[in-house]
Structures are given as C-alpha cells and as structure tokens.
C-alpha cells in the first residue's frame, strides 16, 4: 500500500511539473523566465525520480531482510519444537489447533466427573486423546496437578503428555498419546447392554497378570524413581489404559500430589473414588505412597474377580430391594475357607494358573491392609509378582471399612448408628497414625522380608 502511494505521489508531481513547463513555454516563449522555470522543473522531476527509486530500493531490501528473518525464525521454531519433543517437554497448543484436530470435539472417547476425553489427529498425523477439564471449581487445581505431575515423567507404563492448552477460565485441555485399546475396565468387567458398542472384551488370564505387573511398575516409578515422589491418588481400572500390545499404562493424574522424598505423609482435601480410597484418607489422617498401594490392591482384586469391589446387588430376601456388596469381604472369607479359586472370574476358570491366582490374591490382601505400615511398597509388590520375594499368607484384617461402606439404604437410623460406630472404631485405630507410620518396627518388611 505504501509503495502504491509513493508511486502515485511521484507520478502526480512529475505530470504537474511537465504541465507547468508547457504552460510557461506557451506564455513566456523563450524568455529567461521560461528557462529558469524549465530548469527548476527538470531538477525537481529528477529529484522525484530519485526519491521514488530510493524508496522502492529500501522497501525491497526490507522485504528481503524480513523474509530472511522469518525463514530463520521458522527454522528456529522447528528446531525448538524438535528439541522439545526429544526432551519430552509438553507443547502449548492453541485452542484452534485442538478444535481442528478433534473435528470440533466430535469423537468422544470417555467422560469423568469433571472432564471429557476426545480423539483427535494432529497436523503431523499423530493420534491423540484430548482431555477437556470443564469443572471450574476444580479445573485449575486438576490442570496444574496433572501438568506438574506428568510433564517430566517418562516411563513405559505411564501415559505420555504431549501438550496442553491453558486459558484464564475453564475449559482447559491436556493432550495425551492415543491408546488404542481403551481402559482396563472395558476388558475385565462384563459389559452391560448399554455398553455393548464400547471397545473391549474379556482379557485373558496371562494378560491380566501382565497388566498387574505393568501397573505396579508404573506406580513404583512414581513413588521411588522420580526426583519428587508422586502420589497418584486415583488408581482404578478406568485410569489404566491398554495399548495395541495390551501393555498397561497408568493415566489421569488429575488428583496427583507431589511430595518430597523425605515426606512420610501429606494432606489432600480432594476426595478420590469410592471403593479405592484408603481408610487413612477417609479419616483425613494424611496420605502417603501406601494410599496408592491400597488402591492398587483393590484393582488387583478386581482384575482377578472380574467384578467391582463395591457394587449394588439384589437382596436375596427381598428382590425388589438392592444392597451394597463389598467384594474384598467375600475374598477375605473365601481365603479363610480355602476356596480361593471361587474368587476368580468365571470366564477364566479353564485357563488360569492356581499358583498365580493365590499369589495375586495374597498380594492384593497385603495391599489392602487397613494399617498402612502393614502394606508393602510398590517396589516390593513388583518383586513379589515377578518372583523375587516369596509371598506369605497375609494377616487377617478386620475390614472395619467394609461395614462403613456396606450399609443398606432402607434403614437410615440403623445406618447412622452403624456409621458412627465404625467411624469411631476407625478413628481410634488411626489416632496415632503419624507416630505409627514413622516409628513402628512392625512393618511389612520386618514381618515378611526378614524371613526371605
């Protein structure tokens, strides 16, 4: 636009001067005044041409320099992007990029309490899962926790965070690798009619055992091999994904908490998922890596049994009513009766190995001990599952938490009394939890590992 303006001004000036010279020639003929005006006009015309030439030359050089700088900047951005990918640093995406990648957020993969997950394809052809965090009251906290927890964490059994899209208000977005076989719950729990179209099936026993080890390795890495200990705090089948070779990857770090290596306990005001929360968390006595161990034990029982650890079932006495059933309580009773194989998912009875079943059940019961000091670390769990540590029969547990969770809905008064009594019993058991956790010598290591 500026070039055009310069040209118009120059052309107008030259034409005007020529017209003035012609008029002076007609009126003044060949007098001295005419030659003076003619000489001045020609000089101005040359000056105009020189100005236009210099202006166009400077503009051309500016364009060449700008083009060079733009090319160099693009090369630097490409190199920077390459280095970020090599280093595993998450990329900050623009909202428009994610909208195009997901085709307007059309392909829904799953939903949680405060987030939706969509499938997308980036410009370079990479398949991704885009998590949209919608809840305003927890969105910012979840977003910061998830990015901080997984941004610099790299392990074969943890889902990789590719990037994020932040804004001053909800929603916010997290971009993960797309995991083709979906979540573990689709592969171990029988599908309801409403879920028939979901991707999944019945996972074989060998793959279930492999998944148990994979998840244990992922959690062991978070607890022991990271620069800062990371507590996942939401370990459940829905947050365990399976890739094309059925390798398990732990995902969804929305509730995660970073702690120092020397911190034995931490405090979390956010509550996890019912059925997977350890007693000390319910009682707000502090959380630790043993809190994740408890959740892992619950998942392990679900992997073996192919059923939810807490579910509503028909009342045998009154078919019109339903009551809560706690699967770990059934497992505990079957172990006491010596009927461990009755715990196994009935779809796997012909293929499972009884010795492996016993090992998984024993490890799970060690993990769900109500006293955190009795639970093994995730490193010890990996060693037990891979045969480096002998798995002893776990001590009996009162499972006070069972009575707290398994209450019938038809008797509110009795439930309130039962809940109050159970809360008192639980609170008494954990009243000195901080001292027990730090000073007790009666731990999993002293009861089991000392005799290996």
Segment 165-186 mean pLDDT:
85
Q: What sections of 257-373 are H helices per DSSP? A: 279-282, 289-305, 327-337, 354-367
Q: Which two tokens stand for residue 208?
A: 């279930």
* Tens digits of residue pLDDT in 329-348: 899 999 999 999 999 999 99
Q: How much is the pLDDT for 130?
A: 93
Higher pLDDT, 386 or 13: 386
Q: Is the dihedral of CA 61, 65, 71, 74 positive or negative?
A: negative
Spell out a b/e string for 131-156, using b for 16 or more CB atoms within 10 Å of the CB, else e: bbbebeebbbebbebbbbbbeebebe
Most distant CA pair in the chain, distance: 132
Active-site choice (234, 252, 289, 345):
234
Q: Which of 326, 237, 223, 229 is nearest to 273 (CA)?
A: 237
* Tens digits of residue pLDDT in 24-64: 777 777 777 777 888 888 888 888 888 878 887 888 888 88
Query: What is the C-alpha separation between 1 and 242, in angstroms, rounded?
Result: 58
Higher pLDDT, 318 or 67: 67
With 60 as the cut, is the pLDDT of residue 3 above it? yes
Asked if 85 and 124 count as a contact pair (C-beta separation under 8 A), the reply is no
- Reported confidence tier of residue 269, pLDDT bands at 50, 70, 90: low
Segment 248-257 mean pLDDT:
82
CA geometry: angle 342, 239, 397, nearest 5 deg: 45
234 is catalytic: yes
Q: Which of 250, 233, 234 is nearest to 289 (CA)?
A: 233
> 91-177 domain in CATH 3.30.200.20?
yes
**Residue extents of the structural domains in the chain:** 2-87, 91-177, 185-451
> 185-451 domain in CATH 1.10.10.60?
no
Q: How much is the pLDDT for 205?
A: 96
Annotated binding residue at 131? yes
**pLDDT cut 70: percent of the chain above it:** 73
């Amino acid at each position: 636009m500026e070039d055009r303006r310069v040209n118009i001004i120059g052309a107008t000036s030259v034409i005007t001067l020529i017209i003035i010279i012609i008029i002076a020639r007609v009126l003044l003929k060949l007098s001295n005044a005419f030659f003076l005006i003619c000489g001045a006009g020609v000089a101005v015309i040359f000056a105009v041409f020189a100005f236009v030439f210099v202006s166009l030359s400077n503009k051309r050089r500016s364009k060449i320099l700008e083009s060079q700088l733009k090319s160099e900047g693009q090369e630097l951005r490409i190199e920077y992007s390459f280095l970020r990918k090599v280093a595993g640093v998450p990329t900050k995406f623009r909202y428009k990029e994610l909208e195009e990648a997901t085709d307007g957020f059309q392909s829904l993969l799953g939903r949680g309490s405060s987030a939706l997950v969509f499938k997308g394809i980036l410009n370079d052809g990479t398949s991704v899962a885009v998590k949209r965090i919608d809840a305003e009251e927890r969105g910012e906290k979840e977003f910061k926790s998830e990015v901080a927890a997984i941004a610099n964490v790299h392990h074969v059994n943890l889902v990789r965070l590719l990037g994020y899209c932040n804004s001053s208000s909800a929603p916010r977005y997290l971009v993960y690798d797309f995991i083709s076989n979906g979540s573990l719950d689709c592969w171990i729990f029988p599908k309801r009619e409403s879920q028939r179209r979901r991707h999944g099936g019945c996972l074989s026993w060998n793959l279930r055992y492999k998944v148990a080890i994979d998840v244990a390795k992922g959690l062991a890495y978070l607890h022991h091999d990271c620069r800062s200990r990371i507590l996942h705090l939401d370990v459940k089948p829905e947050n365990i994904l399976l890739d094309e070779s059925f390798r398990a990857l732990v995902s969804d770090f929305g509730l995660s908490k970073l702690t120092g290596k020397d911190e034995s306990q931490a405090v979390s005001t956010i509550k996890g998922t019912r059925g997977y929360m350890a007693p000390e968390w319910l009682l707000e006595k502090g959380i630790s890596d043993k809190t994740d161990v408890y959740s892992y034990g619950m998942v392990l029982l679900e992997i073996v049994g192919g059923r939810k650890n807490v579910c509503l079932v028909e009342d045998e006495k009154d078919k019109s009513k339903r009551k809560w059933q706690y699967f770990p309580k059934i497992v505990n009773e079957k172990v006491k009766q010596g009927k461990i194989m009755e715990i196994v998912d009935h779809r796997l009875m012909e293929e499972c190995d009884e010795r492996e079943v016993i090992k998984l059940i024993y490890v799970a019961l060690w993990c769900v001990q109500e006293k955190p000091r009795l639970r093994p670390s995730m490193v010890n769990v990996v060693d037990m599952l891979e045969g480096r540590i002998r798995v002893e029969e776990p001590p009996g547990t009162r499972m006070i938490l069972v009575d707290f969770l398994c209450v019938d809905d038809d008797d509110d008064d009795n439930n309130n009394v039962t809940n109050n009594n159970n809360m008192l019993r639980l609170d008494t058991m954990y009243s000195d939890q901080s001292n027990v956790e730090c000073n007790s010598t009666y731990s999993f290591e002293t009861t089991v590992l000392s005799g290996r």
